[in-house]
């Protein structure tokens, strides 16, 4: 399902004589407010007509002169009483439909919003470069992002004002809630994980993306750049990711609509679209990885998965290496037989995970994923050594680790006779050593059995947890939330628009959908994010 070209059907009732002039007047006076006079007028007049408050997400009715709080639902009461079904958010300019119960997209209205916002910035006497920069930073309306080049005057001011704002351990810059636009918590939790991925953050906040698409307004990478600017702008009010949602609908049609969706599916679709839109970058024209692409997405998320198929007669090995963005792991409780628990099930500690008798760990899932598997007589392959079809074994190992590793716990089971959610608890560590699962470590693993690495000082393959995505609910319905790490050891829970402080215990006791980790060795920092396949509420 693709988003309708004309947008919400209830907009037609508003589009009567002089509707464009009326909408422009609202944007000029109460949303963008480019001149000093309109800003003063907005400050005086924009209060809730029911409670007199200035805050609480004020909205203006599009049919009459009425301002009301969205948080306290005063604008909702007005819409119900007067049957005025459309209102405009006075902070971000988004149009809300009370019939659809959601923020809507309308091509004509968005065009007016763009035009009036450009006028507002011109009235404030910004230079063209700075206008473009701030348009992306503050509103997210798909303008091409331009690198800021300081003028001589600005350079002089910087020299005479050497003080800079310091990022302290209690700093909350980068923490920002996301409005749920109607069954979009699956998107919000992934966006939180992506915006707190250190290397991705550094890329976008250093103006590295240069869009070469014919239509920058349709570029998802440009929108992600805007999103990072919004998150790290210092604003505390929840962000409304309507542009991001529209672009996802446009470029990943299978995710369009307001039905419940899968967070893992959204992650892969988002990475795919970002990867495709990055190919116009200067960096994307180099090729030195399995995808023949060196864009920022592949640099961070792409790893190499080695598959070794061994003939049981001549023991010849056929090896293939495929790129991957995530690793999907089976869980105990599924119809697929699960390998016995690791040697740590007696209460010892393996890979930083404390084992309780019967508890499944992320290491257990990885050991099962990389164990040799007998393909059986029904899946014979043609051996190049024997020149005939023979039984074989197959083993997967990591040839190349990505900087950010994403682990997907397969909690949804679909078969001809069965559809269910697997609720098996999986514990995961704050730090994870992937050395035992590397292709280079294959000789130290016998028949899939775990062997403790002898070189305990090798930190090249160690990851540090930075994000976890969780799902609460059933197969039919539920809700996604996420935990993200801020600075070195501060954790926060992101539940759509609500951000709350969390403890490490809260994170490790969660059901375990996305952990992220950082290498401590001399190689580039590695991050890990594990996701579980669930439905959105």
Residues forming the active site: 185, 479
User: Any bridge partners for residue 337, and if so which?
Assistant: none
For residue 397, what are the contacts with CB-CB under 8 A and spacing of at least 6?
Answer: 305, 306, 308, 370, 437, 438, 439, 441, 442
Gap between the Cα atoms of 304 and 302, Å rounded: 7
DSSP states along 353-415:
EEP-TT-EEHHHHHHHHTS-EE--GGG-EEETTTTEEE-EEEEEEEEE--SEEEEEE--EEE-
DSSP β-bridge partners for residue 408: 328, 531
5/173 Cα distance (integer angstroms):
36
The DSSP H or E segment spanning 69 is strand 67-69
Are 373 and 394 in contact by the 8 Å Cβ rule? The answer is yes
**Burial of 274: CB neighbours in 10 Å, binned 0-12, 13-18, 19+:** buried
Distance CA 91, CA 114 (A): 14
Nearest-CA neighbor of 224 among 204, 206, 208?
204
- 381's CB contacts (< 8 A; 6+ apart) are 309, 311, 318, 375, 389, 390, 392
Q: How far apart are CA 486 and CA 484, in angstroms?
A: 7
C-alpha span between 337 and 391 (Å, rounded): 20
- The H or E element that residue 114 is part of is helix 107-123
* Calpha distance 77→294 (Å, rounded): 53
Q: Distance between CA atoms of 161 and 168, rounded to whole angstroms?
A: 20
């Amino acid at each position: 399902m693709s988003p309708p070209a004309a947008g919400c059907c209830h907009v037609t009732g508003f589009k009567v004589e002089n509707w464009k002039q009326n909408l422009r007047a609202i944007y000029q006076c109460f949303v963008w407010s480019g001149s000093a006079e309109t800003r003063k007028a907005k400050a005086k007049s924009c209060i809730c007509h029911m409670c007199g408050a200035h805050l609480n997400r004020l909205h203006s009715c599009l049919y009459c002169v009425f301002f009301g709080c969205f948080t306290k639902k005063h604008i909702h009461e007005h819409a119900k009483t007067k049957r005025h079904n459309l209102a405009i958010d006075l902070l971000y300019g988004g149009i809300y439909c009370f019939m659809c119960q959601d923020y809507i997209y309308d091509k004509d209205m968005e065009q007016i919003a763009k035009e009036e916002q450009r006028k507002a910035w011109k009235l404030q006497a910004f230079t063209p470069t700075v206008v473009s920069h701030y348009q992306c930073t503050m509103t997210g309306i798909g303008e091409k992002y331009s690198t800021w080049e300081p003028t001589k005057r600005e350079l002089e001011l910087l020299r005479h004002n050497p003080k800079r704002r310091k990022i302290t351990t209690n700093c909350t810059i980068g923490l920002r809630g996301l409005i749920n636009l109607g069954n979009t918590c699956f998107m919000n939790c992934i966006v939180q994980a992506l915006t707190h991925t250190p290397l991705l953050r550094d890329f976008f906040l250093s103006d590295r993306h240069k869009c070469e698409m014919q239509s920058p307004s349709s570029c998802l990478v440009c929108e992600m750049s805007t999103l990072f600017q919004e998150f790290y702008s210092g604003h505390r009010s929840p962000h409304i990711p309507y542009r991001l949602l529209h672009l996802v609908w446009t470029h990943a049609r299978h995710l369009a609509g307001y039905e419940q969706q899968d967070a893992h599916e959204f992650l892969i679709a988002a990475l795919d679209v970002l990867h495709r839109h990055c190919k116009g970058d200067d960096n994307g024209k180099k090729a030195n990885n399995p995808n023949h692409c060196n864009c920022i997405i592949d640099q961070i998320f792409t790893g190499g998965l080695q598959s070794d198929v061994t003939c049981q007669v001549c023991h010849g090995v056929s090896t293939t290496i495929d790129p991957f963005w995530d690793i999907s792991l089976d869980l105990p409780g599924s119809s697929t037989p699960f390998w016995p628990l690791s040697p740590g099930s007696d209460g010892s500690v393996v890979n930083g995970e404390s084992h309780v008798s019967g508890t499944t760990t992320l290491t257990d899932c990885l050991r099962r994923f990389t164990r040799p598997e007998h393909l059986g007589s029904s899946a014979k392959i043609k051996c190049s050594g024997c020149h005939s079809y023979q039984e074989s074994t197959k083993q997967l190992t990591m040839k190349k680790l990505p900087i950010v590793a994403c682990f997907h716990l397969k909690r949804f089971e679909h078969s001809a006779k069965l559809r269910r959610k697997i609720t098996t608890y999986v514990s995961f560590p704050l730090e994870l050593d992937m050395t035992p699962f590397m292709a280079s470590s294959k000789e130290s693993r016998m028949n899939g059995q775990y062997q403790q690495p002898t070189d305990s000082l090798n930190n090249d393959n160690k990851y540090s947890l930075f994000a976890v995505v969780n799902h609460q609910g059933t197969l039919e319905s539920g809700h996604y939330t996420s935990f993200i790490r801020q600075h070195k050891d501060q954790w926060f829970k992101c539940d759509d628009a609500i951000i709350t402080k969390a403890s490490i215990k809260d994170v490790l006791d969660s059901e375990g959908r996305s952990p992220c980790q950082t290498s401590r060795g001399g190689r580039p920092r590695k991050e890990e994010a594990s996701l579980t396949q669930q439905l959105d509420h």
